[in-house]
A and B are shown apart, each in its own frame.
Chain A
Amino acid sequence: MIEEIRELNIRTKGLLRRFLARLKLELRRILPQIIAILTAFLAGAIVLLVTGYSPIEAYGALMRGAFGDVFGVGQTFTKATPIIFTALAFLFAFKSGLFNIGAEGQLLVGGFAAALVGISFDGLPPFVHVPMALLAGALAGGLWGFIPAILKAKLGAHEVITTMMLSYVAFYVTGYMVNYPYKAPGWVPQTPLIATSAELPRILQPTQLSASIFLAVILVGLTHYTLQKTTFGYEVRAIGLNPTAAESGGIGIKTGMILALVISGAMAGLGGAGEVMGVHRRFIEGFSPGYGWDGLAVALVGGLNPVGVLLAAVLFGALRSGGMTMTRVTGVPLDIVSILQALVILFVAAPMLIKYLLKRGGIKWWSS
């Protein structure tokens, strides 16, 4: 009896020790990200102070707006949803060694394609209409990823420039569509409302949170699974890590790159479709406040790992939703959110900088 208890005790201790060791490891892994976020907020506070605002009031209002009540939380998750899609888009391309900085444009064409399917059919059952519209969004986004992909694979055109240029093209082409052929009556450049059969249900009235967030979470799981557990995912990562080795290993680099960028575009397109079908129920010109860029920041802050993306997306969703409250209450221009976002990216860009700052601050955690 006593033997058994002792045995159990030892085993529990072992488990606990392992758990703590794991926790410490994970913490150390995400420490640079946490420091980056804190440093960015600190630098943002300086900007606020210099321009005559109280950082405590501003950040306080931001947090209250984002998490203060059920409505705020709902809006935070609403804003986080498209960011999850665009972050996964950036991440997936990045794993194959490509920089897709055009998620914004892919989101726009995806959203417009979904709206088009949404307004073009009437009387379809939702279980047909909804997947059709989502598929249209993914296809359009995928096409917008395919163009830079094929130009990169066949001609060597730098995807950073082409994806960016195509974002502008997407902005103007969808802008043309909702200002001319598909414009709803009235002053606002927007399409008519989509059929109710193409709507994604709202899941937390009166906030705009829609079932799109379930798709986002499923996509997180799928991305993780694809990258870690499938041959294709392994190939994609191999191309990203070492193209020359991947080639000699018999993997088609070009095919892999093209597929990765098409999938990346499709993810962003799906995010746009989710916005149109769940939040706005129509395509409105300029509906994205820059979700493509948010996604890039979130993918980096999330440590380029799908689960990390989920957490970071909530933070950036909070900045978007709480930011509005902050502007209303304190009058701080909403663009401080972009400044914070950029600062986070700059700090994450150079992990060595964080290491340097920690060392200067006398923190030895890193070296242990």
Chain B
Amino acid sequence: MVELLDVITVGLFAAALRMATPIAFASLGGIFSERVGIINIGLEGMMLTSAFTGVAASYFTGNPWLGVLAAVLVGGLLGLLHALLTVKFIGNQIVSGTGINIFALGFTAYMSQIIWGSRGASESVQGLRVVSIPLLKDIPIIGDIIGSHTPLVYLMLIVTVLSYVVLFKTPIGLRIRAVGEHPAAADTAGIDVFKTKYLCVMVSGMLAGLGGAFLSLGHLSLFAWGMTGGRGFIAMAAMIFGNWMPFGAFGASVLFGFADAVQMRLQALGLLPPQIILAIPYILTVAVLAGVVRKAIPPSDYKPYVKE
């Protein structure tokens, strides 16, 4: 028991915030997509492809920030693909997203073998450095938790606030929400429904891309096969748990990040077989979904919009 209590330290909370970062990014991405009526099951694949792209770009240029940029661009491209298939060609959203997920798994493993000759993991590359925020890091406990992280963690916090402001405090946000809730009315009001959908699904992909870049460049400094490990789906659960609201999704992401951090600590202790510990975040996700969804009301009916 003493060992179990040792797990709960200030470091654990810092790790929870770290592990919440990729989930929160993808979760915010999910919100942007679902707010315009497009389900983005492909978040997982967008994260994974971006995680790979980030490492590859950092490997070839030696600059991790170019890696982040490339990751965001690739995420946006996959978002564009998803939007094309589901908005322009009225394809099934779940099928398209699943296609993107399978593509990501195959493509990243394929390219990993081409570039590094190994399917399992890339070589180590230059990752993002941890920065410490002056003054903040000196506050006891709080400073230990949020004082020193890679810049992407802080960017995630900023993006969370920005997403809220954009979606709920600006005319653009009103338009975005109108497109999801009532596309026909939005169209009548002069909003370009299709353009809005394209943009938001691309933003969704870009945010997922940031999440992927954090995993590979901010967390491990390498790419590993299937390294997203279902975080795209967990992010969707966080989005639903958070009722499609940025702060809600952020809170839920911290919960899942905490589970992830606990899982890692427990593994390091070696008290339980790793397989059992590794299953914890997934079981928690199912439990959370089962526990809250009755109260969750989706912001759209997700039906494709066809102009009369």
Contacts and interface: CB of A to CB of B under 8 A. Distances in A.
Given A337-B106, A350-B85, A176 B289 contact: no
A158 B91 contact: no
Contacts of A339: 103, 106-107, 110
Secondary structure of the B contact surface, majority rule: helix
A99 B94 contact: yes
A166 B286 contact: yes
A155 B275 contact: no
A147 to B, nearest CB: 8
Contact of A349 (B95, B289, B296): B95
Nearest to A327: B113
B68 to A, nearest CB: 24
A163 to B, nearest CB: 10
A196 to B, nearest CB: 30
B102 to A, nearest CB: 4
A352 B286 contact: no
Interface stretch (A167-175, A224-232, A261-269): A167-175
A290 B106 CA distance: 11
Given A172-B279, A175-B275, A337-B106, A350 B290 contact: no
A165 B92 CA distance: 21
A175 B279 CA distance: 10
A242 to B, nearest CB: 13
B162 interface: no
Interface string B276-308: 101100110110011101101000000000000
B50 interface: no
Contacts of B104: 342
Contacts of A156: 293-294, 296
A51 B114 CA distance: 7
Contact of B95 (A176, A179, A345): A345
A353 B120 CA distance: 35
Interface string A326-368: 0000000101111101110110111111001000000000000
Interface string A289-309: 000010011001000000000
A203 interface: no
A175 B240 CA distance: 30
Contact of B102 (A155, A164, A175, A338): A338
Contacts of B81: 346
B248 interface: no
B290 A343 contact: no
A180 B285 CA distance: 25
B224 interface: no
Contacts of A336: 106, 110
Nearest to A162: B286
B90 interface: yes
B249 interface: no
B98 A101 contact: yes
Interface stretch (B124-132, B176-184, B191-199, B230-238): B230-238
Nearest to B96: A349
Contact of A172 (B111, B275, B296): B275
A79 B187 CA distance: 50
Contacts of A348: 95
23 contacts: A158-B240, A158-B293, A160-B94, A160-B233, A161-B285, A162-B290, A164-B230, A165-B234, A166-B286, A168-B282, A169-B283, A172-B276, A176-B273, A176-B276, A293-B102, A336-B106, A338-B110, A345-B98, A346-B81, A348-B95, A349-B96, A350-B85, A350-B92
Interface of B: 41, 81, 85-86, 88-92, 94-96, 98-107, 109-111, 113-114, 119, 229-230, 233-234, 236-237, 240, 273, 275-276, 278-279, 282-283, 285-286, 289-291, 293-294, 296
Interface of A: 47, 51-52, 99, 101, 147, 151, 155-158, 160-162, 164-166, 168-169, 172-173, 175-176, 179-180, 293, 296-297, 300, 333, 335-339, 341-343, 345-346, 348-353, 356
Given A169-B283, A351-B91, 5 more contacts: A293-B102, A335-B119, A345-B102, A349-B96, A349-B99
The 7 A-B residue pairs whose C-beta atoms are closest, nearest first, are A338-B106, A350-B91, A342-B103, A350-B89, A176-B275, A345-B99, A346-B99
